[in-house]
Structure 1
Amino acid sequence: MTPVTTPTLVYLHGVGQGDLQQEWKANLSATLTRIGYPDLSDVTVITPVYADELKEHSDTQRSLALRPLRKDRGSNSTHVFDFERRIAAMEHRLGRHNRGAGGAFPQAVVNASVALPIFAQARNYVNNTQIRAQVHKCIVDQLPTEGDIVILGHSLGSVIAADLLLRLPEGLTVKGLATIGSPLSNENFNVDDIAKHLKTPPSNLSWWVNFWSGSDPVAAKRGVSTTIPWVLDFRIKTPLIPGPAHSSRKYCADEAVAEAIGFGLFGSRSKEIVLAEKNLKLPLDDTEIFVLQALRYGYLISTRLKGDDARRYAYALRETQARMVAEIKERNARENKPVPAEISWLDFDIADPEADAPIPKKSPYMPKVQAYERLLELVGHNLLQPFEIEVSEKIKREALEDFTSETYLGSPLGMEIYQALHEAEQIVSVAPKTNWRRWGAFGVGAAALTVATGGLALAAAPGVVGAAAITSALASFGPGGMIGGIVTAGTLATVGGGSFTVGALSSVNSSEEVEAMVVHRLSLALLWEANGVDRVQEIWDELANAERTLNRDYTRLKNVSDSSSPILKDCEQQLHTVTRALKYLGDHGMGPGGDLPEKETENAEAEEGTQEPKSVVAPLVKILSKKHETEG
């Protein structure tokens, strides 16, 4: 086995002579050990000093040309995608991107400072091509000709690092670039239109994280991504006094800076996730089962994709798996429950872009009656939110057939699901648009309205609806708010039996959303009816409840709003959708009472007083009907 070689660390200083006492190095080394990485004692550290090259002395000027730009600048889609995967992993590792607000006053401070004598070196570098060439040569002459390096650029050193990225030797790969106290957001430092050259990430760069402090006047309260959008900006705290606030030694004492440098030099601290509960056999609750099933179905889809679609889908599925597992672990910890082995198996280090996500194991067996509802949830939702990747129905259907086959339900069941969806769509849609295929695109909005049903998501504040419910529900989630597939997964685990429709079928959603939900519930009714499951009345009750709610909303809007109101028209469309579904159920004997034979009806009425009714809606309908006949 070839031994792994630690990359070389290159430190590029700012104006002046740099940190000749190497305090930045001592602080960084101590912080690395504090967070669990090795120190810098065995790392090759290169600290070029280019103060003389930054001075404008005619006697030291040499006729030097800038190194040529690299031919491959990372413009191809594969590299851009891979870079996004790595930068997303760094965001998982460090925390949410924060580009800062900036402002006129901080920028004015930087603009005024540039004119001071202490910044003469910076002005020389930005404005004098010969000086740039001298500085580049001074640095490159000390670098290895091939291999991996990690660059730490402070202040003007961050500008030099960015300028040098496309001019490094072909054999060098920058495993990571960390910039601290960078002025790159200020237009005075846009050397040689650097933002244009760095429109896309260079092919020799793995990731770039910029650390800035709100008290650092050079950073001007904003990150580098305002100039170079693909850079990850991360805010840290340094002292409030301007000098120490900009000091490299203060930045290097920060654990986030050390985390980035440590990962670039040594890789992940956890090469493998240690599964302390790997032998723990525990019963799975419905939420955990749903997560296993959703990830397995996604995996079966991914195996059928090719090329760019396969790469993007695999990435989105990997992100979703990490979120789902993390949220289950967090939920179980809150409830003082251990994590079952099946969930622990799925865990991996999402902050390591090279870590493979374990392949989800086959779904546990589920009874066929339960399978109808669960499979509709799986195929009818975008489980990868917030990512949207179009997958053909053929691939999704084949994956579902494999899923039902390996779950001992039989592959024909997968076909039944899609047939029911198509039939339901034809029933409720004036002009079928296969909305059910994309109803997951609004899953966050609809699901957040029903978070009180349980699952992974936390309940919204009482009385909060619509967009406010989404905000309330997601506010207590982890860093960044896990707004992706995890929210959908958490609520879908408990939506069976109508809890989803009761909360979601209302005028706060669009007509497309309502239509998709009606298609979902009507599909389930068709499956239940075709297979003799005596629960179709539940769907009728749900839709009847929704019809009353929508009818009240429509009447209230119509009495006040303009007749041309888009909201009024949308509500009217929603009402028509629900009405069509109810009419179909009634016309086909799936409404209240159905088309039972006369004898069975008599028996049912005789037993009505001795059996608990399935629904409070059916008796209410009968009472209202009798009242209407009496009044008539």
Structure 2
Amino acid sequence: MTDQPVLLFLHGVGAGDPDDVWKDVLDARLREIGYPGLGGVTVIAPKYPNSLVASDDRHPLPGITVKEPSGEEARRNRLEFDRRESAIENLLEKHERGSDWLLGEPLTDVALRAKVFAQATNYLRKPQVRANVLTRVLGEVPASGRVVIIGHSLGSVVAADVLRRLPRGVRVVGMVSIGSPLSSASFHVDGLRDGLRQPPTNLDWWVSFWNPLDPVTTHRGVSSAFPWMTDYRVRTTVNHKVHDAVTYLADARVALVVGHALHGSQSKELATVMKGLDVPVDATETLMLLALRYAYLTEVKLQGAVKERYACARREVQANAVAALMDRRTQDDRPVPAAVASLALDLTDPHSPVPEPGRISPVSKDEAVLPLISVMTANVIRPFEIDVDETVRVEALEDLTIEMGLGRQYARDLIDAGVAVREALSGSTNWVRWTALGLGAAALVAATGGLALAAAPGVAGAAAITSALAAFGPGGMIGGLLTAGVLVGTGGGGVVLGLTSPGTTAEAVEAVVSTQLTAAILRQRQELEQDFATWATLAEAGRALRREQAHLAVISDPSAPSLKELERKLRTVDRALAYLTAVGLGPGEPDGPSVSPAAILERATDAFRSVDIDGDGAPDPRRARTAADDARSAVSAFLRRKRVSTEEDADPLRGP
């Protein structure tokens, strides 16, 4: 095989573009966007308009050369294909399938009866015509090598039909369909859809471009028929050439995909590694690096199919997380730390290696409590979900704490504390349920309008969370980890409001309370200083829940869902307080608070009082109010950016 792929262009109905105008348009557009063009590319553009009409040729239908895989081979093929297809999705940013057009199928049936579409009708309904066209195309395809296919209109049907009939030595490194009618059942000749239920083993990826103004596409992409491939919408002005191949090939996105298939990735992400400076990482980056290292240590202990899937998930999560952190640094006009930049990878290249997250620098046992609990209880490959054996999780956590200079016993104490707390609160030790923490933390922030952030340890803590919310939103791996990490170890009125709010589910309350207790038990076992605000927070939450329960019970039905939810929240809080007392962490207990409950409550609500922080003689705004305002602004900014990003359909190659 040669390194340079051959370009195979399959035309639609009509004369087949005898002057190859499509080639000139594509060549010019490739050069405009920075690719070498088609000068050094072997282009094959078979002309078969005569074969689409009456012909004396009597070729047999070419046979299937690429068999459909089954069993383990099918699973592995799909996994590898999805990885390559994801690279194209990252290149184009978003998949757009389109919506079913109510009149699409009836109009397609009518159109196929029209004289102008006689060639298409012949291909679909006359086996001899189909056999002649496929033979004509295959006669010009090399016996081996790498091929990129562009199929326009009926040519996309021919491309899909010829895929499994190509010589065994040919590898299709990319297929691009433009203006394709394959979403219509009328174009699935001889069970084509059934034959392509799964991606063929000789295909790297397939992307189809459709235009909402193009009647041939019936206002949707091809993934409605082949859900394993990617659709992308292009837009043009209203004119009589919206279906022409040159119109599609003049689009920057179409040229970008073709150029990527022919010449490789244009990404400059890896070059950024050289620009990473030896500057400190901030709180958000530290937590992300910890999560990525834990994910890596988990992956190396897995085996077989689970390891393959986990590796694919970790690859995408790492790339997206690092890119998001680097973008935030760039927007803030701050240099990117080398520890972050060195983990960047090019998702548009499915073969790019995944840099190994480095070992975490040693930290004190006290500093490690909150981040380790956050990482241990989170899904560090979110949004993917893969069930990992608990033994693997435990061993990976032990390796992590050893690397951090904390020792294996620290991990064991952390795990034992978590299991004991979960059992005390709900009778369950299931680790998977702990992943509700991130959602629970986000729920508390939303339910209190940001007041839950007021109890963040110091101004830096609240500022770090606000920054994360503005950049990543309250969910996701990064925003969720940081928000949850702070809420695990803080108390105060903001958290009380969150725990008692109707907008916070009982499951979220259980997740947050259980992790706060886990932190307390871990500190006890490691003989670390306790954060006694936890007791005051839970005690005040219990009182608030009982007041609300008494108020609603007078009027509501006894079986009202709101009362059931309150009962579950109250049961969690009561069990938590009882457990703290049982293990000696309640007021008056040997390891419990040495100050009065009133003093504890005063400390817990400090953020809600006006205090002269800067020493200018005037009380500064309450930290709770400031944190809430900042959080609301951050979330609003994130949602505005997300909404604008969804609505925009700008050229991705256009400068700012």
TM over 0.5: yes
Residue in structure 1 matched with residue 604 of structure 2 by the alignment: 615
1:211-264: per-residue Cα shift (whole Å, max 9, x none)? Answer: 0011111111101111111110100113312x3110110100111111111111
- Other-structure match for 2:417: 420
C-alpha displacement of 1:400: 1.1
Q: Is the 8 A contact 1:327 1:456 kept in 2?
A: no
Among 221, 229, 235, the alignment partner of 1:237 is 235
Aligned-partner SS, 1:390: coil
Paired residues, what number?
Answer: 590
Residues 14 and 156 in structure 1, CA contact (< 8 A), matched pair in contact too: yes
Partner of 1:468: none
Which residue of 61, 64, 68 maps to 2:64? Answer: 68
Of 327, 350, 355, the match for 2:352: 355
| Aligned pair partner of 1:291 in 270, 273, 288 | 288
Q: Which residue of 2 aligns with 1:464?
A: none
1:465-507 per-residue CA deviation (whole Å, 9 max, x = no partner) reads xxxxxxxx79x86xxx996434423534544532795576354
SS at match of 2:272: coil
Q: Which residue identity does 2:515 align to in structure 1?
A: H
Q: Secondary structure at the match of 2:215?
A: coil
Q: Using a 3 Å threshold, how does the CA distance of structure 1 residues 412 and 109 change in structure 2: closer, same or farther?
A: same
Note if 1:121 corresponds to 2:110.
no
Contact 2:443 2:503 in 1 (8 A): no
Residue of structure 2 equivalent to 1:571: 566
Judged with a 3 Å threshold, the aligned counterparts in structure 2 of structure 1 residues 591 and 132 are, in CA distance, closer, same or farther, namely same
Give SS of 1:54's match.
Answer: coil
User: Deviation of residue 356 (structure 1)?
Assistant: 1.2
Q: Residues 474 and 483 of structure 2 are in contact (CA less than 8 Å); yes or no, is this contact kept in structure 1?
A: no
Provide the C-alpha distance between the structure 2 equivalents of 1:196 and 1:43, rounded to a whole number of angstroms: 34
Q: Matches of 1:172 and 1:422 in 2, distance apart?
A: 55
**Partners of 1:444 and 1:484 within 8 A in 2:** no
Q: How does 1:422-461 map to 2 (within 5 A)?
A: 422-429=419-426, 431-432=427-428, 434-440=429-435, 443-444=438-439, 446-447=441-442, 449-450=444-445, 452=450, 453=453
Q: Equivalent of 2:52, from 32, 51, 54?
A: 54
Report the counterpart of residue 322 of structure 1 in structure 2: 319
Change (3 A) 1:548 1:403: same
Residues 498-521 of structure 1: per-residue CA shift (max 9 Å, x gap): 279557635434444432332211
> Which whole-Å CA distance do the structure 1 matches of 2:37 and 2:607 have between them?
72
Residue number in structure 2 paired with 1:300: 297
Query: For residue 183 of structure 1, what is the amino acid of its counterpart?
Result: P
Alignment partners' CA distance in 1, 2:347 and 2:274: 19
Structure 2 alignment gaps of length 5 or more: 454-461, 610-656
Could you give the per-residue CA deviations for residues 570-620 of structure 1, whole angstroms, max 9, x where no partner exists? 3322220121001222344423454589xx96xx57xx99x9953239999
List gaps (5 residues or longer) in structure 1.
461-472, 621-632
Distance change in 2, residues 1:240/1:490 (3 Å): farther
In 1: Cα distance, 2:437 partner to 2:552 partner: 24
Separation (CA, whole Å) in 1 of partners of 2:564 and 2:76: 44
1:503 and 1:263 map into 2 onto residues whose CA distance is 52
Give the partner amino acid of 1:70. Answer: V
Shift of 1:368: 0.6
Distance 1:486 1:618 in 2: 25
Residue 543 of structure 1 corresponds to 538
One-letter code of the match for 2:490?
G
Aligned to 2:477: 485
1:102, distance to aligned residue in structure 2 (A) = 2.8
Q: Matched residues in 2 for 1:517 and 1:585: separation?
A: 15
- Secondary structure of the structure 1 residue equivalent to 2:146: strand
Q: Which amino acid aligns with 2:111?
A: S
Q: In angstroms, what is the RMSD of aligned CA positions?
A: 3.1
Q: Does 1:341 align with 2:341?
A: no
Equivalent AA in structure 1 for residue 172 of structure 2? V
TM-score, reference length from structure 2: 0.83
- Output the CA distance in 2 between the equivalents of 1:246 and 1:583: 71
Query: Would the aligned equivalents of 1:102 and 1:220 in 2 still touch at CA under 8 Å?
Result: yes
Match among 76, 79, 87 for residue 78 of structure 1: 76
Q: Relative to structure 1, is the Cα distance of residues 17 and 542 closer, same or farther in structure 2, using a 3 angstrom cutoff?
A: farther
Give the one of 244, 251, 254 matched to 2:251. 254
Q: How big is the shift at 1:545?
A: 4.3
Could you tell me which residue of structure 2 aligns to residue 207 of structure 1?
205
1:532 aligns with 2:527: yes
Cα distance between partner residues in 1 of 2:217 and 2:539: 59
C-alpha spacing 1:8/1:271, structure 2 compared with 1 (3 Å): farther
Any idea what SS the aligned residue of 1:299 has? helix
The whole-number CA distance in structure 1 between the counterparts of 2:84 and 2:31 is 24
Retained in 2: the 8 A contact 1:320–1:486? no
> CA shift at 1:312, angstroms?
0.7
2:440–2:509: 8 Å Cα contact kept in structure 1?
Answer: no
Rounded Cα–Cα distance in structure 2 between residues aligned with 1:231 and 1:619 = 53
Q: Secondary structure at the match of 1:176?
A: strand
How much has 1:423 moved relative to structure 2? 1.1
Q: Does 1:331 align with 2:328?
A: yes
- SS of the residue 2:210 aligns to: strand
1:435, 1:515 within 8 Å by CA — same for their partners in 2?
A: no
Aligned to 2:365: 368
Query: Residue 170 of structure 2: SS of its match in structure 1?
Result: strand
Identity, in percent, stands at 38
Are the aligned partners of 2:29 and 2:252 in contact in 1 as well (CA < 8 Å)? yes
Is the 1:272–1:349 contact (alpha carbons within 8 Å) kept by the matching residues of 2? yes
Whichever residue aligns with residue 489 of structure 1, its letter is: L
